[in-house]
Amino acid sequence: MSTITRFAPSPTGRLHVGNIRTALHNWLLARKAGGRFLLRIDDTDAARSREEYVEAIRADLAWLGFAPDAEYRQSERLAKYKAAFEALKAAGRVYPAYETAQELELKRKIQLGRGLPPIYDRASLKLSEEERGAKEAEGIAPHWRFKLDHYEPIRWDDGVRGPQKFDAAQLSDPVIRRADGSWLYMLPSAVDDLDMGVTDVLRGEDHVSNTAVQIQMFTALIAAQYAAAQKPRFAHEALLVGKEGKLSKRLGSLGCDAFREQGYEPMAIVSLLGRLGTSQPVEAFADPAPLIDTFDLSTFGRAPAKFDEVELARLNAHIVHQLPFEAVKGFVPEDFTPEAWHAIRPNLEKASEVIEWWQVVTGPVPALDFSDEDRAYLREAAGKLEWSGTPWQNLTGALKQTTGRKGKELFLPLRRALTGMDHGPDMKELLPLIGEEEARARLERAAA
Ligand code: GLU
């Protein structure tokens, strides 16, 4: 059976680093196995779902380079959930419940006050036919709960957490359908995973208790002959936190739009998130192939993964230093050349900074102050420009001979006069780009 994974965001906001990481890991898991990666839009919550977010999710995945092999939308599959619901109902695994939200809250408070876990007491399950009739005669429309089997042990071997065991009696029967007929997350997700042949559910550890419930749902759906498929394997990854160890608000809103705006390369994000929280070293990869080859759930740790933007910036610089000219062709001026890219590239943290450095080549550059001594030196330099072969070596070689200067004294005034800056790309490569006439003009202006 070939591997099928899915990423199942609710389109109620933009993707943030945490979701992006989960999506990436699902994509890597599928690619490594030569399988398929699905995008499932969990949009059963019509009031909170927005089309603009669906589009943003697609665009973000495409930008990051892990576009899905197929896309599904829960809002188009409501008939399936109804069929599954009816099958579970016929099998006695679904029951109507009549408590209001306030009643449930009160029960919770009482249980907590007595030091008991706030598990739903199944009061509605215990109602007689008559009592139920009376509720409905009063005009109370029921919501629906899935009836957990308290005698069926819940176990799975988690791809990250190892063997897991839950006692169904310690869990509440989950509400799966609201009184207005709309669906909560739990059942549609299980139905979809079966229908779409999902083999591996990889998601955040905040879903562990959902998995416990869904395992019984999968079994019940298969037993009710709703589906012939097998239930998937499960893996829950530790959550992502900021470097200070907390899930900050900033991290919760940090997504592809911010990354793009700040000029990060998609591969920097992929390189970082691919291995963050695993025992494998985070490295800057120019393409995802090595991440695919080495992807291994058994290297995932249980401790929260720490996201650090400084690390992202470092990876980004490494990736920019390897980017081919083609990658920047789209946003550089027409006269910008591959030679210019090679000269400037090692100096960049973000590819977009190339524009500022190109300005240093084309000019005008800021006029800096020089001492009298340096001005004399620069005047001499203007007369010594020799454009055959390697102009920078010619110039500095000649000046060394005639002035006896060396090191910083020899190089820095030239760099400052030629670029208006104290640091920057290798002058060997930069000077030919500036050109003879312009270089002489800059040296003469500095000497004046
Ligand atoms: N829509 C759910 C979420 O965003 C999906 C969880 C899952 O089953 O992967 O949390």
- Say if CB 68 and CB 5 are below 8 A apart: no
Kindly state whether residue 439 falls inside one of the protein's structural domains. Answer: yes
Residue type at position 325: F
For position 145, what pLDDT does the model report? 98
Name which of 203, 197, 194 is nearest 88 in CA terms. Answer: 194
Name which of 361, 347, 417, 420 is nearest 385 in CA terms. Answer: 417
Please tell me the distance between residue 42's alpha carbon and the centre of ligand 1 in angstroms. Answer: 7
3-state secondary structure (DSSP) of residue 41: strand
Kindly state whether residue 264 falls inside one of the protein's structural domains. Answer: no
Kindly state whether residue 434 falls inside one of the protein's structural domains. Answer: yes
For position 159, what pLDDT does the model report? 98
How far apart CA 237 and CA 9 sit, in angstroms, is 16
> How many domains does one find in the chain?
1
Give the tokens for residue 228.
């012939």
For position 244, what pLDDT does the model report? 79
3-state secondary structure (DSSP) of residue 263: coil
Ligand 1 binding pocket mutation candidate from 185, 202, 217 (most atoms within 8 A of CB): 185
- Say if CB 144 and CB 187 are below 8 A apart: no
Burial class (CB in 10 A: 0-12, 13-18, 19+), 395: buried
Residue located nearest, by CA, to atom 5 of ligand 1: 8
Give the tokens for residue 335.
């006269």
Residue located nearest, by CA, to atom 6 of ligand 1: 8
Q: Determine whether the shortest distance from the Cβ of 96 to ligand 1 is under 6 A.
A: no
How far apart CA 385 and CA 398 sit, in angstroms, is 9
Q: Helices (H) and strands (E) in the chain — how many of each?
A: 20, 12
Atom of ligand 1 nearest to the CA of 10: 1
Kindly state whether residue 435 falls inside one of the protein's structural domains. Answer: yes
How far apart CA 237 and CA 239 sit, in angstroms, is 6
Summarize pLDDT for 246-294 with one digit per residue, the tens.
767 778 778 999 999 999 999 999 999 999 999 999 999 999 999 999 9
Kindly state whether residue 403 falls inside one of the protein's structural domains. Answer: yes
How far apart CA 163 and CA 155 sit, in angstroms, is 7
pLDDT in tens, the chain (448 residues): 799 999 999 999 999 999 999 999 999 999 999 999 999 999 999 999 999 999 999 999 999 999 999 999 999 999 999 999 999 999 999 999 999 999 999 999 999 999 999 999 999 999 999 999 999 999 999 999 999 999 999 999 999 999 999 999 999 999 999 999 999 999 999 999 999 999 999 999 999 999 999 999 999 999 998 888 899 999 999 999 988 777 677 787 789 999 999 999 999 999 999 999 999 999 999 999 999 999 999 999 999 999 999 999 999 999 999 999 999 999 999 999 999 999 999 999 999 999 999 999 999 999 999 999 999 999 999 999 999 999 999 999 999 999 999 999 999 999 999 999 999 999 999 999 999 999 999 999 999 9
Helices 17-32 and 266-275, axial angle in degrees (round to 10): 80
Atom of ligand 1 nearest to the CA of 193: 8
Q: Determine whether the shortest distance from the Cβ of 13 to ligand 1 is under 6 A.
A: no
Q: Determine whether the shortest distance from the Cβ of 210 to ligand 1 is under 6 A.
A: no
The pTM of the full predicted model, rounded to 2 decimals, is 0.90
Kindly state whether residue 382 falls inside one of the protein's structural domains. Answer: yes
Kindly state whether residue 342 falls inside one of the protein's structural domains. Answer: no
For position 124, what pLDDT does the model report? 97
How far apart CA 107 and CA 113 sit, in angstroms, is 10
Is the Cα torsion angle 283, 287, 289, 291 positive or negative in sign?
A: positive
Strand partners, 211: none
Residue type at position 402: T
Kindly state whether residue 425 falls inside one of the protein's structural domains. Answer: yes
Q: What CATH number did the domain enclosing 381 receive?
A: 1.10.10.350
Report in angstroms the alpha-carbon separations of 381 from 367, 433, 440, 445.
17, 18, 8, 12
For position 252, what pLDDT does the model report? 77
Give the tokens for residue 405.
């200067």
Q: Determine whether the shortest distance from the Cβ of 9 to ligand 1 is under 6 A.
A: yes
Domain that holds residue 386: 372-447
For position 405, what pLDDT does the model report? 97
Q: Determine whether the shortest distance from the Cβ of 189 to ligand 1 is under 6 A.
A: yes
Please tell me the distance between residue 92's alpha carbon and the centre of ligand 1 in angstroms. Answer: 27
